[in-house]
Amino acid sequence: MTHNDSLTLQSNKTFNPEMISQVDIPTERDPLLVKKASLSLSSTPTLSKAQKRAGIVQFLALCWSLFMIGWNDGSIGPLLPRIMQVFDVNYGTVSWIFVLTCTGVVFGALANMPLNDKYGYGKILVLGAILQMFAFITQSSARTLPFSAFAASFFLGGIGMAIQDAQCNGYIALVKHEGELKMGFLQASYGLGALIAPLSSTQFAQAPTRWSGHYLISFVLSVLNVILLSAVFKFRAQDECLRESGEIIPESAIRNAVSGSGSEGDGKYMQMLRMKAVHLLALFLILYIGVEVTIGGWIVTFMMVVRGGGPESGYVAAGFFGGLTLGRIALIWVNQKLGEVRAVYLYTALVIFAQLLVWIVPSRLINALLVCTIGLLLGPMYPIAIRHAARVIPRSLVTGAIGWIAACGAAGSALLPFVTGRIAEEKGIGSLMPFLLVMMAVMGVVWFMVPTKPVEEE
């Protein structure tokens, strides 16, 4: 994944292995690791102005990439009723959009690790942005396409999003300078995209002949994404970009890259797939992202059909993603106060309670406020899970593992909304509420099972 010529140490400087802790991010249930990490942080060098500037520019470019993924996910909810009407399809058929998106994401995640090893971080990151760009331009031509071709474009977009998601999250997960804050803002960028997109798609959904114009706007934004990622990362290796922003590359990573030792290809997959933490975090994100996208994708239909709302119900989805965005920043202090692992338990309990109220209180206003609150409480869970992966998974596997975990989460983003559509076809859209409650409860149980101690690299 990294190139040897980008991993050489600066001349006339001696690498001190004592400066690097074996575990850079402490786990809150292991005091020894907390102590080791504190020692490591105390020896972190001060960044130069050039390094700070490079770090900020890189971070902003990655935030825009996540913004585009959030924009994609936030677009579909308000457009679903119009898509069903234009193409004359039912709940079950339109749900194939979620399935094809999921299939693309899983394919992209599986391809991410070997592509990354062969071509390097910067090239693959831009490739993901280009694939998403092509998906948007295809979707903007929806009025001239059959439903099958329109839905198939979501497969291409899924591949692009999976690659970008893995690369962006894997990169920031390895950042030690204000890493927790940056991860929170990175995920908030996703939420911001998912917040703004429904404001656009709701307006276009009310125009029977111009509804696909939303995807033309999406295409223009995706072109900017390609330009930014190309200009900032310049198709370079991950460690080269990290070092430019002042990050210290662990001695073991340098040694393995220079010597050519370390796991590659199938060996990395086998090592990764033997880790219990990878599978449990993947299952957690299947449920978490599934719940998130199910709410964002189907809450508008629920508000219109069950609560008797009008087209303006699309703004409920915007409120949900607005809460999601706010929670990833505003609740950072709660995560720090309680500890990230315990914070997830609190958020899960409160989300279940709020979802129960949405089910039993037949008020559109109260439902809308509660949905925003659910978004707020769900918000911090994804960045917490990604940072937790960086704590418990060996560094050489972090980007690939996060890609796999996120891909499994994307499976949830397709599977749960698809199941919801099938159940709604048989039982009505009102079945959304009990289904979400069960998934939220299972999500909390899975989080309890996730390991908290680092896995040793073989």
Q: Which of 11-15, 106-110, 249-253 has the highest mean pLDDT?
A: 106-110
Q: Which amino acid is at 85?
A: Q
Give the closest residue to 242 by CA, choosing from 186, 159, 328, 172.
172
The larger pLDDT score, comparing residue 254 to residue 131, is at: 131
3-state helix, strand, coil in the chain (%, to 5): 80, 0, 20
Handedness of CA 201, 206, 211, 213 (dihedral sign): negative
Give the pLDDT of residue 43: 46
Give the pLDDT of residue 252: 52
Q: Say whether pLDDT at 178 is over 90.
A: no
18 DSSP 8-state letter: G
Q: Say whether pLDDT at 369 is over 50.
A: yes
Q: Say whether pLDDT at 444 is over 70.
A: yes
Check if the beta carbon of residue 407 is closer than 8 Å to that of residue 307: no
Give the closest residue to 387 by CA, choosing from 210, 237, 161, 169.
169
Please enumerate, as own/partner, the contacts of 329-337 that have beta carbons within 8 Å and a separation of 24 or more. 329/184, 329/185, 329/188, 330/376, 331/376, 331/377, 331/379, 331/380, 332/180, 332/181, 332/184, 332/380, 334/380, 335/180, 335/380, 335/384, 336/180
The larger pLDDT score, comparing residue 92 to residue 10, is at: 92
The encoded tokens of residue 21 equal 């802790």
Residue 44 φ/ψ, nearest 5 degrees: -70, 125
Q: Say whether pLDDT at 35 is over 50.
A: no
Q: Say whether pLDDT at 398 is over 50.
A: yes
Check if the beta carbon of residue 386 is closer than 8 Å to that of residue 277: no
Of 160-164, 209-213, 249-253, the one with minimum mean pLDDT is 249-253
- Residue ranges covered by each domain of the chain: 51-243+274-449
Q: What percent of the chain has pLDDT over 70?
A: 84
Residue 366 φ/ψ, nearest 5 degrees: -65, -40
The encoded tokens of residue 452 equal 């908290």
User: Please, what is the average pLDDT of the chain?
Assistant: 82
Of 216-230, 298-312, 369-383, the one with minimum mean pLDDT is 298-312
Task: Determine the average pLDDT of the residues in 184-200.
Answer: 86
Task: Determine the average pLDDT of the residues in 277-297.
Answer: 88
The larger pLDDT score, comparing residue 438 to residue 313, is at: 438
Res. 15 pLDDT band, cuts 50 70 90: very low
Q: Which amino acid is at 119?
A: Y
Q: Say whether pLDDT at 1 is over 50.
A: no
CA 405 to each of CA 88, 338, 445: distance values in angstroms, whole numbers, following the listed order: 35, 25, 18
Give SS3 for 178. coil
Res. 22 pLDDT band, cuts 50 70 90: very low
Give the pLDDT of residue 32: 39
Q: Say whether pLDDT at 448 is over 90.
A: yes
CA 228 to each of CA 32, 162, 223, 231, 310: distance values in angstroms, whole numbers, following the listed order: 41, 18, 9, 5, 39
Res. 442 pLDDT band, cuts 50 70 90: very high
Cβ-based neighbours of 361, under 8 Å, separated by 6 or more: 367, 370
CA 117 to each of CA 51, 262, 390, 400, 427: distance values in angstroms, whole numbers, following the listed order: 26, 12, 19, 10, 47
Q: How far is it, in rounded angstroms, from Cα 67 to Cα 60?
A: 10
Which residue in this structure is represented by tokens 């071509």?
Answer: 119
pTM summary value:
0.73
Task: Determine the average pLDDT of the residues in 437-449.
Answer: 94
CA 425 to each of CA 349, 419, 444: distance values in angstroms, whole numbers, following the listed order: 29, 10, 28
Q: Say whether pLDDT at 11 is over 60.
A: no
Q: Please, what CATH class does the domain formed by 51-243+274-449 belong to?
A: mainly alpha
Give the pLDDT of residue 456: 62
Task: Determine the average pLDDT of the residues in 104-111.
Answer: 86
